[in-house]
Amino acid sequence: MTGPTPLTSLHGLPFVKMTGSGNDFVFFDGRHVPFDAVVTPEAIRAICNRRNGIGADGLVILEVAKPEADVRIHYFNSDGTPADLCGNATLCSTALSAALGLATDSGMTLSTPAGLISSRLSAGFPEIELQPVTAVRPSMPISLGVGERAVGFATAGIPHLVILCDDADAIDVAGLGPSLRHHAATGPAGANVNWVSPLPGGRWRYRTFERGVEGETQACGTGAVATAVLLSSWGIAPLGTVIIRTSSGRDLSVTLMALADGTPGFRPTLRGEGRVVFRGTIEKILATD
């Protein structure tokens, strides 16, 4: 009897499953796991498969990066493609790096393809300082749908469309997301797409269609940052802290400060969840292709 091929190179590898407000990841400690065994697109897709693998929105490998930084983050989307940055994966990386003794919880430097990130644990929650967001377009040549009020663009490590709407929960994210994610106005690589609407008490609700996952995720850290940036650029949320409710029901906190040299843009800090769900060892995972 024939069937999918077991990925024998994964057998016996230890992993950690983590979640950042429902945005979930499989983590590997690069000191103990061979890099080449887990970063092939075939292995990533199989590990992240929710029916036949561990299941995740993405895969992360942490490795010692001194003297450049304390830890280097290698992040891959569930479709096997690498990404320069994932906000919630970086929050999780902060928590796990401290737990593994790779860095101190009071402050660490993380190396990503999007630049160096300073982070720490604050009252038990990870907090990261992202690179300045200067690529901001408050309006985009994209038609608005029913109940949509504005659409803008910001690069918060990776590119994001942000659409202000009356009720994010009423949006057909699965139906509208694919075409907007590939819209020509966002550039050749496309962008994540976020819909945001107001909640009582000055908070905001958002939902994200995430490229590389090619579907809606429960949360998106860089999407929360881009959303806060556009809300401020539109003049409907002030500089300071913006609280954004994710689809998991948990809140992400984004604090925006003006750049010290007066350059147009924002210096963002993101605070949220970085929780270990379980630890395990891979027994048998089958190729999904």
pLDDT, position 2: 60
| CATH number 3.40.50.300 given to 8-128+275-281 | no
Fold that domain 136-264 belongs to in CATH: Diaminopimelate Epimerase; Chain A, domain 1 (3.10.310)
pLDDT, position 4: 78
The reported pTM is 0.94
As given in the structure block, the two tokens for residue 79 are 């479709």
Q: Does residue 150 carry a pLDDT above 90?
A: yes
| Omega cis (within 30) before 67 | yes
163/186 Cα distance (integer angstroms): 13
Average pLDDT, the chain: 96
* Sequence spans of domains, the chain: 8-128+275-281, 136-264
pLDDT, position 289: 66
Q: Does residue 276 carry a pLDDT above 90?
A: yes
Q: Does residue 1 carry a pLDDT above 50?
A: no
Work out the pLDDT band at 262, boundaries 50, 70, 90. Answer: confident
Asked if domains 8-128+275-281 and 136-264 share a fold, the reply is: yes
Secondary structure of 198-238 as H, E, C letters: ECHHHCEEEEEEECCCCEEECCCHHHHHHHHHHHHHCCCCC
Stronger pLDDT, 174 or 260, i.e. the higher one: 174
Residues in CB range of 111: below 8 A, 6 or more apart: 65, 68, 69, 71, 72, 73, 117
Helix/strand/coil for 172 = coil
- For the annotated catalytic residues, the residue numbers are 86, 220
H-assigned helices in the chain: 35-38, 41-48, 87-99, 173-181, 221-233
Stronger pLDDT, 1 or 235, i.e. the higher one: 235
Average pLDDT, integer, range 9-16 = 97
186/53 Cα distance (integer angstroms): 33
Condensed to tens digits (0 to 9), the pLDDT of residues 115-148 reads: 999 999 999 999 999 999 999 999 999 999 999 9
Count other C-beta atoms under 10 Å from residue 148's C-beta: 17
Work out the pLDDT band at 5, boundaries 50, 70, 90. Answer: confident
pLDDT, position 288: 81
In terms of C-beta density within 10 A (0-12 exposed, 13-18 middle, 19 or more buried), how is residue 177 classed?
A: buried
193/156 Cα distance (integer angstroms): 13
177/216 Cα distance (integer angstroms): 8
Average pLDDT, integer, range 171-192 = 96
Query: Contact at 8 Å (CB) between 159 and 182?
Result: no
Count other C-beta atoms under 10 Å from residue 10's C-beta: 20
Average pLDDT, integer, range 219-234 = 97
Q: What is the DSSP string of 44-83?
A: HHHHH-TTTS---SEEEEEEE-TTT-SEEEEEEETTS-B-
Query: Contact at 8 Å (CB) between 59 and 48?
Result: yes
78/196 Cα distance (integer angstroms): 24
Work out the pLDDT band at 8, boundaries 50, 70, 90. Answer: very high
pLDDT, position 188: 93
Q: Output b/e per residue, 55-81; b: 16+ Cβ within 10 A.
A: ebbbbbbbbebeeebbbbbbbbbbebe
Condensed to tens digits (0 to 9), the pLDDT of residues 185-220 reads: 999 999 999 999 999 999 999 999 999 999 999 999
Condensed to tens digits (0 to 9), the pLDDT of residues 27-62 reads: 999 999 999 999 999 999 999 999 999 999 999 999
